[in-house]
Amino acid sequence: MSYKPADNQLMLNREMGLLEFNRRVLAQAEDASNPLLERLKFLCIVSSNLDEFFEVRVAWLKENMRHNPARLLPEGMTPLQAFELVAREAHDLVDRQYDLLLEVMLPALAKEGIHFFRRSVWTDEQREWVRDFFFRELMPILTPIGLDPSHPFPRVLNKSLNFIVELEGNDAFGRSSGIAIVQAPRILPRFVKMPADISGVEHGFVFLSSILHAHVDELFSGMHVLGCYQFRVTRDSDLSVDDDDLKDLRAALKGELSQRSYGDAVRLEVADNCPKHLQHFLRDQFGLQDVDLYRVNGPVNLVRLMQVPDQVDRSDLKFEPFMPGVPAELRKQPDMFAAIRHGDILLHHPYQSFTPVIDLLQQAARDPQVVAIKMTVYRTGTESALMEALCDAAGRGKEVTAVVELMARFDEEANINWAAKLELAGVHVVYGVYGYKTHAKMLLIVRREEGKLRRYAHVGTGNYHPRTTKLYTDFGLMTVNEEIVSDVNDVFMQLTGLGLAGDHHQLWQAPFTLQPNILKYIDKEIVHAKAGRKAVIIAKMNALLEPTVIDKLYQASQAGVTIHLIVRGVCALRPGIPGVSDNIRVRSVVGRLLEHHRVFYFYNGGAEDVYLSSADWMGRNLFRRIEIAFPVLDLKVKRRVIRESLRPGLVDNTQAWEMQSDGRYRRKTSRGGKVRSSQATLLAELTAKPRN
């Protein structure tokens, strides 16, 4: 069978795949076996994901609808056709979210003594408390804007909470525009906790919107308020820097960041009780169509409810906490350098602690034998012990280099701030190669030992970020393998200097050798299959979109290669197509922790080659980023990777979903057999045992 990788029968739409992923996340909120407050978190995660989905992917579709309408996407649709399909699915998903919140979550929370009090049920005492809060905390910082020729429609910040107020009558100056806008200050919480003696329950909350609704007339003295309705606009938030006359990327990016909150509008959320004439007024102000209007029965920003579990001390309604474990070789040997010299060390986060990575860098900073440190920084957070250690090392006279990626989406400001702090401390800060995001996760330490220099490396699949290392599943490898540390050094030389790309001993590097080597290793399995030998590929990643890789996997399937893909997020490959992909199975595991590591396994005649990587199989990762994939050479460590990341995902019948050829997913169940949860198994095996 002949085919093209872009054939619309063989490729699935990227945006639809992202919405499918969010349906799987929402299923965690719907799952009554999860603790109630964790279910609320999953509901909020869907909203957070959808915000980014509109800010980036829907914005991209709209941009192409305007400027490249005839463009054919990989699945064969035009941008308009894709947008129309995506909009229908997005509306359905949002409706499902709010139905779950109102019909299931809020009543279930109320039964547990966690109440969100609507205005219609306030007691006199509660009403008086709300009134006091309004005048004390809210009124002094509100700035209502009446619309008239002197007060045009205000600039509305991306994702901010706002209210459109319909008025009747004339003000002190005889004006009667009939409409005003009230912007809720971002400094205020979107829900407020009532004192227990006022609420009558242990955890009683009232939405900020309810407080403002109850007293909005106080903002318009002498006028009659006909109605007050919340709304929220989502804007294009993808940053771009003009290549022309670019001299300082950091300065140019800082200029762009100030405008991010005012990009083109892509979505408008309004209260479902808002009259149509006001909905249409807002829609027109933002240059949107009816399809961009989302009428919601509840708060327009569910993301803010993510803070509720932090304010409710109910351990019985949350996942049982765990303490990350530490590998035995590090418990026995506190000297990180001695431990790594003894053999490669694998860390499996968050089941195992990220602290050894911090310990390694802090020891390096203090160690007089360490002469140089190099590190990539993609996402690291506003507070980072690792960045502080780099500053400390530079202050002690060591040669310290940080390759800071300024274009890490939504972390640009934090990275710009860290770049400035690192420079002040004496760190050599570079920004990689313009036009290619530095996404590789690498740390290289050079130490003088016995009269010569020895290099130590940490390479990983995830970011050097203190928060995500507790939530995302990732691998980190510490090694002194001479070929790997030499390759890591070569990549750093590329990033900081100039020169042609050379051949590495062990690493695969994007944009040069990563994609060709993936294709080469798939081809090896094809050769084995055609010769009648066992041929297996298992690949775990966050996303699979790149057409040439998908094309090669289809070829492998046709040759008889058994292919298991564990793709947490979006997958454009269609499994199970007779004669094309009937040897391919695609799974997605969605659970308490975010599956994030990238693992590539090739049976290769029994050699069982395993690579860990910072890259997904996407065009951006393989061709427009600096990425690495590194082999797992130590046999013991390789067995751990297979046992801990691949096998559990293939047998999971609790949190795993199997992809159908139409792009939909079906949740796996035990059907009365043994229940297998990959994450629960690893939490039991790898985390520290509780102390009595």
> How much is the pLDDT for 670?
83
Convert 159-180 into a string of H (helix), E (strand) and C (coil): CCCEEEEEEECCCCCCCCCCEE
Mean pLDDT of 650-669: 96
671 band by pLDDT with thresholds 50, 70 and 90: confident
Task: Indicate the pairing of strand 536-541 with strand 562-567.
Answer: parallel
Are 14 and 572 spatial neighbours (Cβ–Cβ below 8 Å)?
A: yes
Are 657 and 590 spatial neighbours (Cβ–Cβ below 8 Å)?
A: yes
Question: pLDDT for 487-498, tens place per residue?
Answer: 999 999 999 987
CA distance linking residue 232 with residue 285, whole number of Å: 13
Task: Indicate the pairing of strand 265-271 with strand 293-296.
Answer: parallel
> How much is the pLDDT for 257?
52
596 annotated to bind ligand: yes
123: closest CA among 214, 199, 195?
199
The half-sphere exposure of 431 on its side-chain side, counting CA atoms within 13 A, is 18
> How much is the pLDDT for 8?
53
> How much is the pLDDT for 287?
96
Checking if the pLDDT of 690 tops 70, the result is: no
> How much is the pLDDT for 485?
98
Q: Of the segments 298-312, 472-486, 664-678, which one has the largest average pLDDT value?
A: 472-486
> How much is the pLDDT for 6?
39
- Structural tokens at position 130: 């709300």
222 band by pLDDT with thresholds 50, 70 and 90: confident
Question: pLDDT for 468-487, tens place per residue?
Answer: 999 999 999 999 999 999 99
Mean pLDDT of 326-344: 94
Residue 691 DSSP symbol: P
Mean pLDDT of 90-107: 97
User: What residues contact 495, with CB distance under 8 A and at least 6 apart?
Assistant: 376, 403, 430, 432, 433, 438, 626
Residue 407 DSSP symbol: T
Task: Indicate the pairing of strand 399-404 with strand 428-430.
Answer: parallel
Residue 430 DSSP symbol: E
Question: pLDDT for 448-475, tens place per residue?
Answer: 999 999 999 999 999 999 889 999 999 9
251 band by pLDDT with thresholds 50, 70 and 90: low
Kindly report which listed range (346-355, 378-387, 391-400, 403-412) carries the lowest average pLDDT score: 403-412
H helices, E strands: number in the chain: 23, 27
Q: What is the DSSP string of 93-156?
A: HHHHHHHHIIIIIHHHHHHTTEEE--GGG--HHHHHHHHHHIIIIIGGG---EE-BTTBPPPPP
151 band by pLDDT with thresholds 50, 70 and 90: confident
Say which of 115, 203, 349, 439 is annotated catalytic: 439
> How much is the pLDDT for 256?
54
Could you tell me which residues are beta bridge partners of residue 14? none
**Cα 468 → chain centroid:** 9
Checking if the pLDDT of 244 tops 50, the result is: no
- Structural tokens at position 212: 């403002």
314 band by pLDDT with thresholds 50, 70 and 90: very high
Between residues 347 and 672, which one has the greater pLDDT?
347
13 annotated to bind ligand: no
Kindly report which listed range (431-445, 506-520, 640-654) carries the lowest average pLDDT score: 431-445
Question: pLDDT for 51-61, tens place per residue?
Answer: 999 999 999 99
Task: Indicate the pairing of strand 441-449 with strand 452-460.
Answer: antiparallel
Checking if the pLDDT of 320 tops 90, the result is: yes
Sign of CA dihedral 244, 250, 254, 259: positive
Q: Which percentage of the chain shows pLDDT scores above 90?
A: 83
250 band by pLDDT with thresholds 50, 70 and 90: low
409 annotated to bind ligand: yes
Report in angstroms the alpha-carbon separations of 141 from 135, 180, 189, 207, 271.
10, 16, 13, 17, 23
Q: Where are the alpha helices (DSSP H) in 344-481?
A: 355-366, 385-395, 412-424
Mean pLDDT of 238-262: 54
Are 2 and 72 spatial neighbours (Cβ–Cβ below 8 Å)?
A: no
Task: Indicate the pairing of strand 441-449 with strand 370-377.
Answer: antiparallel
Are 584 and 606 spatial neighbours (Cβ–Cβ below 8 Å)?
A: no
User: What residues contact 218, with CB distance under 8 A and at least 6 apart?
Assistant: 134, 135, 139
Could you tell me which residues are beta bridge partners of residue 589? 656
Question: pLDDT for 617-637, tens place per residue?
Answer: 999 999 999 999 999 999 999
CA distance linking residue 373 with residue 455, whole number of Å: 10
User: What residues contact 162, with CB distance under 8 A and at least 6 apart?
Assistant: 156, 181, 182, 183, 184, 230, 231, 232, 233
- Which residue do the tokens 């046709």 mark? 558
521 annotated to bind ligand: no
439 labelled catalytic: yes
Mean pLDDT of 201-216: 95
Mean pLDDT of 549-571: 98
Mean pLDDT of 80-95: 97
Q: Which percentage of the chain shows pLDDT scores above 70?
A: 93
Q: What is the mean pLDDT of the chain?
A: 92
Q: CA angle at residue 38 from 235 to 236, to 5 degrees? A: 5
379 annotated to bind ligand: yes
Mean pLDDT of 299-317: 94
In the chain, what are the domains?
A: 14-317 (3.30.1840.10), 328-503 (3.30.870.10), 509-686 (3.30.870.10)
Kindly report which listed range (7-16, 125-134, 344-353, 612-621) carries the lowest average pLDDT score: 7-16
Checking if the pLDDT of 116 tops 60, the result is: yes
